[in-house]
Amino acid sequence: QAQLVESGGGLVQPVGSLRLSCAHTGGIFSGAPMGWYRQGAGKEREVVAGITTDGITNYTDAVKGRFTVSRDNAKNMVYLQINSRNPEDPATYSCNNYQEQRFLKFLDIWGQGTLVTVSS
């Protein structure tokens, strides 16, 4: 009964920020590295950020310096802060166990994702 529920998507302005939230339920997510992924229309899902249980983060070059991933283990929450936008950022964002891009095929449980749109 593992479950992932993403929220917080919407329109991110050129100036400002948007925080995405991921509530996770299940032992496969607790105590494990978590990641954020995005999938644009007609594109395959790609990993954008990861975070370990103790807060060590990593980002793909596409979002490095613009996105911030964080987590609250006590609340079983993972967050992705979009601090500045690029035209490539509009997509459906999802969270899951962290995996490198080449191992995404091993992730078989996904939430509904949350849609992020970008103005101008």
pLDDT, tens only, 91-112: 999 999 999 999 999 998 999 9
Q: What is the DSSP letter of 36?
A: E
pLDDT of residue 120: 59
pLDDT reported for residue 63 = 97
Residue where the block lists tokens 């509904």: 112
Q: Parallel, antiparallel, or unpaired: how do β-strands 34-39 and 46-51 relate?
A: antiparallel
First to last CA, the chain: 40
CA distance 118 to 76: 28
In 3D, which of 88, 92, 90 has the Cα closest to residue 112? 92
Q: What is the pLDDT of residue 119?
A: 67
pLDDT tens digits, 41-82: 999 999 999 999 999 999 999 999 999 999 999 999 999 999
Name residue, tokens 């991921």.
22
